[in-house]
Every structure is written in C-alpha cells, then in structure tokens.
A and B are shown apart, each in its own frame.
Chain A
Amino acid sequence: MINKILLVSMVFLASCQPAKITTGVLEVKDAWSRPAASGDNGAVYLVIENGTSQNDTLLSAQSDVATAVELHLSEMEGDHMSMHHQESVPVMAGEAVYFEPGGLHVMLVGLTRELRAGETFEVIFVFERAGETSVTVTVRDNLNND
C-alpha cells in the first residue's frame, strides 16, 4: 500500500515539473503585437522553445517596421513598473522562455508604419547557436482573440 502511495506521489510530482522540450529544434512561436501608430513604440510578445540539447542565447532582433529593436524586461517592484534593457536573453536547452505583457518583450522603437489589427510583419531574431530566424508577427487588438 505504502509503495502504491509513493508511486502515485512520484508520478504526480513528476507531472508538476515542466516537461523538457525535445523537438530537436529552436523555435520562436505565437508572436504577436498590439496595434500602434507610426512613430510610437511597440512591443512583440512570443515564446522561444529550445528543443535542442544545447543552451542558446537570443542576441538581438531586427525589423523593417521599427527604427530600432531592443530586448527589454518590465519588472514590478510593488506597484512600480520599471523597464530594463537586456543585452541578451539566455534560452536553456529543453526549456521555453515567455515574452509576455509586463515581463520580457521585444521593444519596437519608433515604428516606421502604423500597425493595424489583423496585419502581419516580420522580425528577424539572431541566436548565438541557432543563427538567424525570421518570424511572422500578427497584430492583435484584443487580449482574447488568439
């Protein structure tokens, strides 16, 4: 009986841990951005999944829709929001890194054109190991219309 309980607990605990991603590739997924006016700043949110067996690092990003593209981290300290520039973002082997509102984001500095809901644009991400990958970003005006 005790063995059974132990086994069930172990299975349960194991299921609580995030599963290692073993796709064999590094992927940038679910990239989206909010509508924004030309000249304003924007942000791109996404998920990076490193399914390879080696750690990687996001070094930079580029896009035609902005005069500069930067990696930033918003942090809440109590009620205070502060934003910090990130030189690079590590993506460990088998793990995912989430760029989400109020956290990590790809900042679009000085939009060269308006971003309208439903449109898409390209962002090129540069990784230390995986190299360059072009990602299509969808502009969404609402939190719920995934």
Chain B
Amino acid sequence: MNRKTIWVGVASLLFLAIVASGTVLLIRPANFRGTTFGEPYPVAPEIGLTRSDGSRFTLSEMQGRVVLLFFGYTSCPDVCPTTLAELKTALDGLGEGKADQVNVLFVTVDPERDTPEQVQEYVEHFSSTFIGLSGSLSELEKVWEEYGVFREIVEGESAAGYIVNHTARVTVIDQQGNMRISFGFDTPVEDIIHDLKLLLK
C-alpha cells in the first residue's frame, strides 16, 4: 500500500464517521431531561375539584393544553413558593406564544385550611395564569391517591400550626391528557424549559 492509498482510506473513514454521527443526531428521538413515563403513556387520572369562583374544575377541560401539576399548601413557606416561582420563570422562558399553551395547576394537600379562594389568591402571587384548586377531603383524597401523592400532617413543629409534609414533584400532562414527564424538586429551570419546548413542538 502506498501513502496515497492510506490517505484516501483515512479520508473515506472520516467522511463515513461524520455522515454516521450526523444521521444518528438527526434520527435520535426527542430526549427529555426530566423523568419520563414509558409508552404507552399513562392517561392522567381525572381531577374534579373546585375553583375559587365556586365553579367545578375538571382536568378534561385542559385537553389540547400542556398542564404542569403540583401539590402543595398555602402555609408552606419554602418548597411550594420555590416551585411556583421556578415554574413562573420556566413559563417566562418559553416566550409568549408557547407559555399561552401551558397551565399550572396547584392542588392543595391541606383542605382544612386552604379554601379554593385562598389557594387561588396564593398562586396569583406568582402568576395570574396559575390555577389553584381545593375541594372536600374525600375529593382530594381520591386525587392524591391516583397521583401517588404522599401527604402527612405533623403537629408541633411550628407556631404556624401543623406542617404538611408532601410529595414535591411536578407532573407534566401533555395535550392529549397523558402523563409524560415529571420533575423532582432540584430540577434546573433550564431543563423544564427544554422539555416544555420539546413537548410544544
């Protein structure tokens, strides 16, 4: 083999490598950064709760829109405000055209203290587009159970009365009403923006 042949060989291999990696990048499926639900995607269980104006809210109203679902309570000083502020930042990062297709739902884990009005007032401190929901204990227990929400009332930790320890994970429901992604508390806002952009494509 002379030198020329070797060079042609190397060049062809390089060319093939570039083409191959390009193809892999092009056909690679969308990669979410959050925790994904496998296919077939689980259908998000129906939610029937009360809005601040007393009207009934159902999750099926949200068909065609992306829903970010979070469970918390209005006396929560740290994790709930942090999550809601991050979701607001994420929506701002999507830009107007896309953020309009997303709803944030905040469902209380503390119906004893959180009326629908209080929950709505609380979430509106973060964004006027957020929806706060409460309901009767039995209605909520059904929702918590179906979404696997842990909830525990702890007395005596604070002058604020009891504390509610709870699941701090955001569930993303797609336009077809399927559960697609969930974000743990420490998820960077950039990752949430990234995943929502992919879902809204």
Which A residues lie at the B interface, using CB under 8 A? 34-37, 40-43, 67-68, 70, 72, 74, 76, 79-85, 101-102, 105, 107-110, 141-144
Contact = CB atoms under 8 A, between A and B. Distances in A.
Contact of B159 (A36, A68, A102): A68
Contacts of B158: 70, 72, 83, 85, 107, 109
Interface of B: 74-79, 81-82, 85-86, 89, 121-122, 125, 150, 152, 154, 157-160, 163, 165-169, 184-186, 189
Which 8 pairs, one residue from A and one from B, show the smallest C-beta to C-beta distance?
A82-B165, A101-B82, A68-B159, A81-B168, A41-B77, A43-B77, A85-B157, A109-B160
Contacts, number: 93
A77 to B, nearest CB: 9
B69 to A, nearest CB: 14
Contact of A108 (B77, B85, B152, B167): B77
B167 A79 contact: yes
Contacts of A40: 74-75, 122
A102 B86 contact: no
A107 B160 CA distance: 10
11 contacts: A40-B122, A72-B77, A76-B186, A79-B167, A80-B150, A85-B157, A102-B185, A105-B77, A110-B159, A143-B89, A144-B89
